Amino acid sequence: MTKNHLKRIPSPKSWDIMKKENKFIIRPFAGSTSFKKGFALGTLLRDYLKYAKSAKEAKYILNNKEVLVNKIKRKDIHDTIGLMDIVEIPSMNKSFRILLTKKGKLELLELNESEKNLGIFKILNKTIIKKGKIQLNLSGSKNILVKDKKYRLGDSITLDLSAKKIKDHFKLEKSSMVYLTGGKHVAESGIIDKIGNNQLIFKTKDGRSLETSKNHAFVIGKEKSAITLFEK
């Protein structure tokens, strides 16, 4: 039981679940997404969306209906889904992006038709491979090959998930808009005012100046956000 499940009580505080509803919750596969920034696909179907009452029902849904994560079909209840991932259930005409609330909880934001194909990813690393091509290692365990050397660590790109092509490139620089994925200002967003070696200062929509670690900054646009965020 404990190999495929976790006890609810010590599960990450970022999971917006009922801690005492059942003893166990579905364990996500270990991978590049930490448990604090992601949870199991079965948890989304059962505990978030309430489309299933049990892990068995969640398995049935995944085996009998299309459930797409960033346009890739998923069938395992233990598959990890995380921050900024887009989960789509075409048969129900529903799409959701996973975002953080200001309480540090991972929540689902339902998307409109124009945004369900728009994935946004942070560049975590890059590697030069054969014939001068560069592999960008992105958040969400995604990789993409490029030829241009303009992409830097900490920048973000948006992808058309259907066409699998880069739409925009947002640099980690002054005047870019960032969304915070950690720290005491988690889920705040604003325009970068100053950047140091490890820290940056940004201004929120209501005029506050906040300082944070560059590691917490996820660039989401140039002067305005390319994606919809929670209003509060």
Please say if the pLDDT value at position 23 is more than 60: no
Domain ranges of the chain: 5-110, 118-168, 176-222
Answer yes or no: are the C-beta atoms of 111 and 86 closer than 8 Å: yes
Q: Which two tokens stand for residue 148?
A: 């241009």
Q: Which residues contact 52 (CB under 8 A, 6 or more apart)?
A: 42, 45, 46, 58, 60, 61
Write out the CATH class of domain 176-222: mainly beta
Per-residue model confidence (pLDDT) at position 2: 43
Per-residue model confidence (pLDDT) at position 5: 57
3-state SS class at 188:
coil
Q: What letters, b where the CB count within 10 A reaches 16 and e where it falls short, cover 115-133?
A: bbbbbbbbbeebeeeeeee
The residue that leads in pLDDT, 19 or 217, is 217
3-state SS class at 126:
strand
Q: What is the pLDDT of residues 108-141, one digit of tens each?
A: 999 999 899 999 999 999 998 887 889 999 998 8
Greatest Cα-to-Cα distance within the chain, rounded to the nearest angstrom: 55
Q: Which architecture does CATH list for 5-110?
A: Roll (3.10)
Q: Which two tokens stand for residue 187?
A: 């889920």
Q: What is the pLDDT of residues 157-179, one digit of tens each?
A: 999 999 889 999 999 999 999 99
Residue range 118-168, CATH number:
2.40.50.740
How far, in Å, CA of 69 to CA of 169, rounded?
22
Least confident of 102-111, 128-137, 147-156, 214-223: 128-137
Per-residue model confidence (pLDDT) at position 93: 93
45 half-sphere exposure, CB direction, 13 A CA radius: 31
